[in-house]
Amino acid sequence: MVEKLGTLEPPKNVIKAILLDHQKEGLWWLVSKEKSDELPPFWEVKGGLYLNVLTMHRTDRRPEPLHGGIFADDHGLGKTLTLLSLISFDKVGTLPDESSSALVAKQTLILCPSVVCSTWESQLQEHTHKGSLKLYKYYGNSRTMDFEELKKYDIVLTTYRTLAAECFRRRRCPLRKIEWWRIILDEAHVIKNENARQSRAVTKLTARRRWAVTGTNIKNGLFDSFSLMAFLQLDPLSTKCYWKGLFQRPLADGDENVLQVLMATISLRRIKDKVLIGLPSKTVETVSFELSGEERELYDRMKSSSKYFLDFFSFVDILRKRYSFMLSLVSRLRKLCDDSALCSRDLTSLLPSDNIQDASKHPEFLGKMINMIQDGEDFVCAICGCPSNDAVITQCVHVFCKSCIWYYLPRKELEKACPSCGGTISRSGLFSSPRESSNSENNKKTSRATPSKVSALIELLKESSAVNSSRKSVVFSMFDKMVVLLEEPLKDAGFNTLRLEAAMDEREQAEVIKGFGSAGPDTVLLASFRTSGFGINLTSASNVYLLEPWWTPADEEQAINSVHKYGQKENVRVVRLVAQNSIEERVLEMQERKKVAAGDVVRQGQKERREVSMDDICSLLSLSA
């Protein structure tokens, strides 16, 4: 961490916003890193040669400076405006000589999750003079394949999914033909999985300056962040064997020396509570409610069945092999606290196949998997590494985004190896789940009773409206299908609603976020949790309702920060809804344990670092009310 930061103002003919002090300091740090001629971390001059103090390698060739780093300010500190201010200097400054034979572009390439595209667009419109920075949106079916066209713009905005889908095609993608002046990876923690297609794709791009931007505590995630080092081209840690031997192993043994040097030289992180003194207040409260008699009976039956499986798998000593199944039992209990329509009552339908390669012989198994996609299970595409939008499933029971697998299998008759298991797949062997819409059968009015949690939510919304009818609200749910199920009862209660779903494409998500910003009072945004983890801007709301307690405090905080952030003008009220005497109370207790243990994350080494460990599952099922 830089001990003393200077300040810098952006060009006024480009940026019309007034930066806060911490943003001016951040801009100074970004510019100083890009202009730096210092040796990169772990290099020094010794005996007339350049010595790498980690590998003890000597060379007479001066290592290239690291023009970039990790910009890790807390969520809500206005990183997007600071980065736009950095880009604005390209319009008034001078570029290095263009004698290089490479196609040197004066543009900045920005990669981000699809849901964040609208944030960049709105921030550009709000904070820059019209026409001062030209933006090209490189996503969607109408995007250009002509790299010369891209060179006409100051900023090219694309998504990780778009890059992953086209980067490895035979016809080289335009983004790889250009040596960019600057590349910015927004929400850079999404490339954590080094084997994911999107993580490999970003390392194929060439640029003079490279920035990884994230609001998460990158220090706690660096253990598994080789892909970040590969993107930043930080020698020698950008080489896998050195990364393991010089960084991971010492860190696993409690030696943080390399970590401390790395963080001090390449990253900047400030915490919101210490920087944004004038940010409106935030209150967080937990509201408990009772399940109805029918809901309690069903919950208790499911709980008994879950405990039976826990005891049985423990007795036959195969519990560790049944992680996914046991997690699904916990998930079903959590869903029953929301709405019984979220899950099947037949627990035996979830039993896993002993031989997943033979699953294609069992259509009923494929049907169950497809139903799980419909129910909003968090499947991750094996090609792009993102939660699967518009998911399809192969006969070997692996899930991909439809767009990703379509690019992978460009012709209907083509057979290729499955990216997950190597088995033979083709387009004719893909299964899909029809996407739900507001006009689907599932959304038709029914005579069933309103779930207790939904009734509690409606009462809270009505109470808030009675106090101040101008306040807008956001309701987050970790279950995609619940976002759909909430719409009808809230409309019946007199509220205007919008839905923000993970399955929407970039344009649909942007339209919803923009529409919510301009919507009238008493509007409720029903948002999937999977859209909240990527720095979206929902500051037009001031009420946040968390329909379920989430696995980790950090995930919960990310959703809250989409509302309580730079640009918020009102005090923010956050309400967690928790079913009494249920697994949700145990999840809250688990959150508190994770907060206490958060400081030891960097020392966990190669141990299990799942959001929910098998020990967590056993604790939740053993103690669940």
Mean pLDDT on 296-312: 83
Geometric angle at alpha carbon 106, from 148 and 99, rounded to 5°: 90
Residue 416 has pLDDT above 90, yes or no: no
Task: Identify the bridge partners of residue 544 per DSSP, sorted by sequence position.
Answer: 474, 574
Pairing verdict, β 43-46 and 135-138: unpaired
- Give the number of C-alpha atoms closer than 13 A to the C-alpha of residue 299, restricted to the C-beta side: 25
- 408: pLDDT strictly greater than 80: no
Candidate from 12-21, 47-56, 354-363, 522-531 with smallest mean pLDDT: 354-363
Q: Are residues 458 and 603 in the same domain?
A: yes
Domain stops at, among 271, 305, 327: 271
Token pair in block for residue 267: 């990253």
Query: 496 and 431 share a domain?
Result: no
pLDDT tens digits for range 551-562: 878 778 888 989
Across 288-297, average pLDDT: 94
Query: Which of 236, 271, 306 lies at the terminal end of a domain, its last residue?
Result: 271
Look up the CATH number of the domain holding residue 358: 3.30.40.10
Contact at 8 Å (CB) between 612 and 297?
A: no
Top pLDDT among 289 and 386 is at: 289
- Statement to judge: residues 385 and 475 lie in one domain: no
Instruction: Say whether both 254 and 135 belong to one domain.
Output: yes
Q: For the whole model, what pTM was predicted?
A: 0.72
Tell me, yes or no, whether 149 lies in a domain.
Answer: yes
Whether the CA torsion 25, 29, 30, 35 is positive or negative: it is: positive
What does the block give as tokens for 69? 């780093």
Whether residue 430 is found in the same domain as residue 507: no
Please say if the pLDDT value at position 350 is more than 50. no
Q: Is residue 16 part of a domain?
A: no
CATH of residue 487: 3.40.50.300
Whether residue 490 sits in one domain with residue 419: no
Instruction: Give the model's pLDDT for residue 357.
Output: 36
Residue 584 pLDDT greater than 90, yes or no: yes
182 and 250 housed in the same domain: yes
Domain count, the chain: 3
pLDDT of residue 98: 41
Which amino acid, residue 160? Y
Residue 443 lies in a domain: no
Q: Which residues lie below 8 Å from residue 70, measured CB to CB, with a gap of 6+? A: 188, 211, 212, 213, 214, 218, 228, 232, 266, 267, 268
Is 312 a domain residue? no
Residue type, 477: S
358 and 410 in a single domain? The answer is yes
432 vs 406: CA distance, rounded Å: 13
Is 479 domain-assigned?
yes
Q: Is the pLDDT of residue 600 over 70?
A: no
Report the pLDDT averaged over residues 317-341.
Answer: 82
Give yes or no for a contact between 516 and 540, defined as CB atoms under 8 angstroms apart: yes
Query: What digits encode the pLDDT tens for the residues 513-530?
Result: 889 988 888 899 999 887
| Residue 498 within a domain | yes
Residue 103: which CATH number? Answer: 3.40.50.10810
pLDDT of 147 strictly over 50: yes
**Could you say which DSSP state residue 420 is in?**
T
Q: Which of 70-84, 146-160, 406-420, 489-503 has the lowest mean pLDDT?
A: 406-420
Residue 317 exposed, middle or buried by CB count within 10 Å (0-12, 13-18, 19+): exposed
Residue 190: its pLDDT value, please? 84
Residue ending a domain, among 243, 271, 299, is: 271
Question: What is the per-residue pLDDT for 167?
Answer: 81
pLDDT-based confidence at residue 606 (cuts at 50, 70, 90): very low
DSSP state of 63: P
Bigger pLDDT: 318 or 338? 338
Are 516 and 592 in the same domain? yes
The strand ranges marked E within 390-436 are 391-393, 399-401, 415-417, 424-426, 431-432
By 3-state DSSP, what share of the chain in percent is helix, strand and coil, each rounded to 5? 45, 15, 40
Residue 300 in any domain: the answer is no
Confidence band, pLDDT 50/70/90 cuts, at residue 218: low
Domain residues for the domain of 231 are 21-271
465-486 confidence digits (pLDDT tens):
999 888 999 999 998 889 999 9
Which pLDDT belongs to residue 169? 72
Q: Are residues 414 and 478 in the same domain?
A: no
Q: Are residues 542 and 578 in the same domain?
A: yes
What 8-state DSSP symbol labels residue 11?
Answer: P
Q: What is the pLDDT of residue 197?
A: 85
Residue 430 in domain = yes
User: Pairing between strand 58-59 and 49-52?
Assistant: antiparallel
Q: Which of 36-45, 204-213, 405-414 has the lowest mean pLDDT?
A: 405-414
pLDDT of residue 489: 95
Same domain, 189 and 60: yes
